[in-house]
Amino acid sequence: MLTHEENRLLTRVGAGTPMGNLMRRYWQPVAAVAELDETPTKQVRLMGEDLALYKDTSGGYGLMDLHCPHRRADMSYGLVEANGLRCNYHGWLFDAQGACTEQPFEEIAHPEARFKDKVTIKAYPVQAKAGLLWAYLGPLPAPELWDWDVYHETGYKTIVFGHIPCNWLQCAENDIDPVHFEWLHAHWSLDLQGRRAGRTIPTHLEVAFEEFEWGIEYKRLLNNSPEWQVGRVALWPNALYTGHFEYRVPIDDENTLSVCWNNEPLPGDEPFEQPRIPYFWSPIKDPATGRWINTHTVNQDIIAWVGQGTVSDRENEHLGASDEGVIMLRRRFLNDLRRIEESGVDPKGILRDPSRNHAMYLPRSSGGERLANSTRAAGPRRLGVAGLYYGLPKEIEDDMLRVIASRKREG
């Protein structure tokens, strides 16, 4: 359990809060590259800040205050230009650093006043990587934006977004919770399908947790294999990595943006170029019943998280042996909060050395019998992304299957 004060400290991420200061020191994924190629501006809410994300006509990205400093119009309806975003109300133009570079009428009425030099807009750096747009809201200079090895591997990549109406931390705590697989994704999942009776579901015998540079790796020993399953990672500070990434991005204290990045392995050895990484929004509620969708792995996780309440009441929880990783995660955050406050040093998982930042190794899931298989019906190959999230659009599924079939023919 946590005290009321500790729970507030760890969950609140608004500007100026201790955890908000910590989370702002990490790049956070906020949108897909493909989204801005379709529509060059987008309203974004990140850690309680309302912002306008854009791609200008030179191909540069920017993120600025949603409200124009002139008379507060919505910049996400602005005009993208060669170098920045222009407010649609009176035409003030701002660059990616937040400088006001044009004020059309002011420059006619009082050119000598150079009013534009006195006006700025809040602006943050944005980078594109792995088909995602990443924002950095912390003190400058920004650290490196991690370049993981899996980004460079052959595979069909997809991005899946979801809006989760609860605090980000309970989602992130799930990243270090091995035992929930056995119940949420095996027993309960099979029960929902009417397939639990008579099934033997592997039981966790032991769990282990190991902190390393980029997060905490967890391991499990099941009763169906003498070999430990290893290589699943709570990636710092707010993601799960098991071959795909699931980021829990704080929209504000009561809402979380789920950003998942998937890499479907492809047959054959030849390289695969994917000029556009497709994305989709995965619904979490069934409009017909008003109930949460429970058929897919991440949807099941979401049911657990929203079920904990908007902000989980950690004063009234009872942690046990299965929660060792959750305790490690909280302790590490609390230590880093103290370190930032006392000395301003970088918290865990920050990379400053560009020479290291290429295809960096992350642990791989391996060993043991795969617990998840216990929930899968036998049959033809199922796409990973199709099992994880509800609502894979038919055009993306068809394209993936087409690519897989064409490579099988060539191979």
* Binding track, positions 314-353, relative to Fe ion; x by CB under 5 A: ----------------------------------------
DSSP output for 56-110: -TTS-EEEEESB-TTT--BGGGSEEETTEEE-TTT--EE-TTSBEEE-HHHHHH-
Select from 301, 323, 324, 336 the one that contacts Fe ion (CB under 5 A): 301
Per-residue tokens: 80: 């993208």
Span of 67-75, 114-122, 155-163, 383-391 interacting with ligand FES by CB under 6 A: 67-75
Report the C-alpha dihedral over residues 359, 361, 366, 371, rounded to 10 degrees: -80
Residue closer to ligand FES by CB (options 79, 303) is: 79
Question: Using the rule CB under 6 A, which residue among 8, 90, 122, 187 binds ligand FES?
Answer: 90
Minimum CB–partner distance for residue 44 and Fe ion (Å): 26
Work out what residue 73 binds among Fe ion, ligand FES, none; the CB cut-off runs from 5 to 8 Å by kind. Answer: ligand FES
* CB closer to ligand FES, 94 vs 245: 94
Size of the site for ligand FES (CB under 6 A): 9
**Which of the listed partners (Fe ion, ligand FES, none) does 70 bind, with a CB threshold of 5 to 8 Å by partner kind?**
ligand FES
Q: Which of residues 71 and 114 has its CB atom nearest to ligand FES in the complex?
A: 71
Applying CB under 6 A, the span of 64-72, 158-166, 206-214, 296-304 interacting with ligand FES comes to 64-72
**Which range in 82-90, 120-128, 186-194, 247-255 contacts ligand FES by CB under 6 A?**
82-90
Binding site partner of 92, from Fe ion, ligand FES, none, Cβ cut-off 5-8 A by kind: ligand FES
Q: Is 353 exposed, middle or buried (0-12, 13-18, 19+ CB in 10 A)?
A: exposed
Stretch that binds Fe ion, among 46-54, 231-239, 299-307, 340-348 (CB under 5 A): 299-307
Distances (CA, A) of 68 to 52, 82, 121: 10, 19, 7
Q: Cβ-closest residue to Fe ion?
A: 301
Stretch that binds Fe ion, among 44-52, 89-97, 147-155, 295-303 (CB under 5 A): 295-303
Nearest-approach distance from CB 67 to ligand FES, in angstroms? 8
Structure tokens at 187: 């027993």
Report the alpha-carbon distance of residue 268 to residue 264 in Å, rounded: 13
Q: Identify the bridge partners of residue 41 per DSSP, sorted by sequence position.
A: 54
Q: Does 87 participate in binding ligand FES (rule CB under 6 A)?
A: yes
Of the candidate residues 4, 71, 291, 382, the single one contacting ligand FES (CB under 6 A): 71
Residue with Cβ nearer ligand FES (96 or 133): 96
Nearer to ligand FES, 78 or 162 (CB): 78
Least distance (Å) between residue 77 CB and ligand FES? 10
Is the CB of residue 212 less than 8 Å from the CB of residue 277?
A: no
By CB under 6 A, residue 70 contacts ligand FES: yes
Q: Please, what is the angle between helix 324-343 and helix 4-11, to 10°? A: 70
DSSP run (H or E) holding 259: strand 255-264
Q: Is 92 in the site for ligand FES (CB under 6 A)?
A: yes
Determine if 80 is a binding residue for ligand FES (CB under 6 A): no
By a kind-dependent CB cut-off of 5 to 8 A, residue 129 interacts, out of ligand FES, Fe ion, none, with none
Dihedral of CA atoms 182, 188, 193, 199 in degrees, nearest 10, equals 50
Cα dist. 241→174, 247, 248, 290, 383 in Å? 12, 9, 12, 30, 18
CB of 57 to ligand FES, least distance (A): 19
Q: What is the 3-state secondary structure (H, E, C) of 338-361?
A: HHHHHHCCCCCCCCCCHHHCCCEC
89 lies in the site for ligand FES, by CB under 6 A: yes
Which residue type occupies 368? Answer: G
255 to 284, contacts with ligand FES by CB under 6 A?
A: none
Query: Which of residues 72 and 382 has its CB atom nearest to ligand FES in the complex?
Result: 72
On the 0-12 / 13-18 / 19+ scale of CB atoms within 10 A, 271 is exposed
Please name the amino acid found at residue 98: G
Q: Catalogue the long-range contacts made by 13-19 (C-beta closer than 8 Å, 24 or more residues apart).
A: 13/47, 13/48, 13/168, 13/250, 13/252, 13/253, 14/47, 14/48, 14/252, 14/253, 15/47, 15/48, 15/49, 18/337, 18/340, 18/341, 19/333, 19/337
Q: Which residues bind ligand FES (CB under 6 A)?
A: 68, 70-71, 73, 87, 89-92
Q: Which residues bind Fe ion (CB under 5 A)?
A: 301
